[in-house]
Structure 1
Amino acid sequence: MAARPTRRGLLLAGAGATVLAVGAGWAARDLIRPAPARPVPPDAPTGDERLTSRPSAARGRTVDFYTAVPDGYGDGRGLPVCLVLHGASTTARDFPGLGLGRFLTDAVRRGAAPFVLAGATGDRLSWRPSGRDDPQRMVREELPAWCAERGFDATRLAGWGWSMGGYGSLLLAGTWPGLLRAVAAFSPAVAPGDAVFANVDRLRGTPLALWCGRQDDFLDDVQALERALPEPAARAEYADGRHDFGYWGRMIPSAFDFVAAALAAPARSPGPG
């Protein structure tokens, strides 16, 4: 039996709706909320930022494929990759409007080791397989291959996601230990008893950083996950903020610093399988 379905619901970040897990299916209800908060990008230029389309065999459809290289690093050839998993209210098509390329250039100008961002559109409700639609396999197999075609170093990968994407990043790290050198998760949509908690021991060896706002409905569950980790989180920060980009935008610089350091460091041995 699913634990606390109202907790497990995936909050649509600032989109004015909550998706609730009910039994084995999903039900949606509309909520009246203020206009969605948006991040405030730094005063930095984008580098080589692209939004293209790629056929995904794993998803059985064509998906948007986003990449961003920090300004001053050309086409990004040879740079490691941070895989970006979006939340339920956004897709890869929204990434340029969120200013992710500008945040990336700013991080490098502040001294972070350069890396590229790469993300593709997953399902609106989950980063888990559903029938023949497998967004998790797309991230595990196809996204690194697309990055390698662009000349990026797809042997050095990290993961970053928010809300549903934070959950997906943690699930990816636990499903394939050693795949990711680190995971940065903003307000991951986790709950005790879900797949992330069930396989939490498989996160050993993967540096994790967690951020969650104190006014976020997922705060208790994110802190429960921190306590359940088999080794201390590399970072765990809780500041005033809600489940939206008003909060997450303020945390992006810290997350990119964390990701850059992990990608530049020697690889760690994976945890026990």
Structure 2
Amino acid sequence: MGISRRVVLSGGAALLAAAAVTGFELVDHAVLPGKGRLDEALGRCDATPPAPLTASAPLPSIGSFPSRLRGRPVSYALAYPPGSRRGAKLPVCLALHGFGSDALSAVNTGNYPRLMADLVTAGGRPFVLAAADGGGGYWHPHAASGDDPLGMLFEEFLPMLGAEYGLESERVAVAGWSMGGYGALLSALTYRDRVSYVVASSPAIFRDYDDAEHVNPGAYDSRAEWDRYDITARASELSGVPMRIDIGSADPFAPTVHRLRDHLPDPAVVTFSTGCHDGRYWDAVAPSQVASIAKALS
């Protein structure tokens, strides 16, 4: 008995449909390239825009200092709230930049300076946003090169801010984005007595050493170094640290942050919402972050 043309065509259509579904799943699970474009097309990156900002902010102050712990001159940027200037005894929030970024970009991420200006105008407690260049080494100390960006922040940069700018630098808040989000969490592990509050936006947390090497070779000098600074493995040490972790549901680091959440003493500090690993998401969560930092520093 022969097979009709209709059966052949319907069978072919079914195969094409199955192939399309399989292709979609492979892209959606990042097995095939194109997940970013797929997320955009499906609206997964459409984070809720914040309300329009009304206040303007002073331009950040910039400078540099010689860092022994980084073995090089380090540039820094300070974002003061309106009405404050050098010499004002204000609390500090460290801003940790992402991979490939720098201090000046860090203090401007999420429109923090203008949000701080709005906050102060409404009677909120002013604070200074302070950032220093940490390079691309994921903020942890690197034994092989002798580069210690985290030590630079707490043992050189903050004391300098206290001595030369009169800022309250003994105990600080720490905010970071992507690589800086990881660094903010690592700050609380390494300098717990000096950190009053942590804001980690889209923290770039890897599954394991091989994952880190595949995505960003050089982020860790060795497997032993990875083990030493593995946030997820040390999550229990964050017990009692006031913090918030914000990440977009379509962020490529969302699966590893889900895993981190499952290991944290208080999983409720992690919030997933619509968004990707980009400025739109960081702008969307920034207003509530700035408010929470000001409250913590009060």
**TM-score when normalising by structure 1:** 0.76
Are 2:188 and 1:154 equivalent residues in the alignment? Answer: no
User: Deviations 1:55-89 (Å, cap 9, x if unpaired)?
Assistant: 11111111111111110223362111001100013
- In 2, Cα distance between the equivalents of 1:32 and 1:247? 14
Larger radius of gyration: 2
Equivalent positions of 1:187-266 (< 5 A) are: 187-192=202-207, 195-233=230-268, 235-264=269-298
1:93-148 deviations in Å (ceiling 9; x for gaps): 32466444223212333443211100100022411122211101111211211210
Question: Secondary structure of 2:70's partner?
Answer: coil
Alpha-carbon spacing, 1:170–1:32, altered in 2? closer, same or farther (3 Å): closer
Give 1 or 2: higher helix fraction. Answer: 2
Find the residue that maps to 1:142 and give its secondary structure. helix
CA RMSD of aligned residues (A): 2.5
| Aligned residue number for residue 104 of structure 1 | 116
Do the aligned residues in 2 keep the contact of 1:47 with 1:73 (CA within 8 Å)?
no
Instruction: Note the C-alpha offset of 1:251.
Output: 1.2
Matched position secondary structure for 1:196:
coil
Give every structure 1 segment of 4 or more consecutive aligned residues whose post-TM-superposition deviation is greater than 3 Å. Answer: 31-34, 95-100, 191-194
Kept in 2: contact 1:70–1:104 (CA 8 A): yes
Residue 190 (structure 1) shift: 1.3
Residue 58 of structure 2 contacts residue 80 of structure 2 at CA under 8 Å; is this kept in 1? yes
C-alpha contact (below 8 Å) 1:204/1:231 kept by paired residues: yes
Give yes or no for the alignment of 1:137 onto 2:148.
no
Distance of 1:107 and 1:247 partners within structure 2? 20
> In 1, distance between residues paired with 2:235 and 2:193?
14
Unpaired runs of 5+ in structure 2? Answer: 1-34, 41-48, 209-225
Letter in 2 for 1:256: V
Q: Displacement, 1:241?
A: 1.0
Q: Of the candidates 45, 53, 62, which is equivalent to residue 64 of structure 2?
A: 53
Letter in 1 for 2:176: G
Match of 1:68 among 79, 90, 93: 79
Q: One-letter code of the match for 1:105?
A: A
Question: Which amino acid in the other structure matches residue 124 of structure 1?
Answer: G
Flag the 1:262–1:150 CA change in 2: closer, same or farther, 3 A: same
How far apart in 2 are the matches of 1:97 and 1:208? 21
What does residue 129 of structure 2 align with? Answer: 117
Contact 1:156 1:263 in 2 (8 A): no
Q: Is the 8 A contact 1:85 1:159 kept in 2?
A: yes
- What percent identity do the matched residue pairs reach? 38
Structure 2 counterparts to residues 33-44 of structure 1, below 5 A: 42-44=53-55
SS of alignment partner, residue 118 of structure 1: strand
Q: Following the alignment from structure 2 to structure 1, what is the Cα–Cα distance between the partners of residues 285 and 251?
A: 14
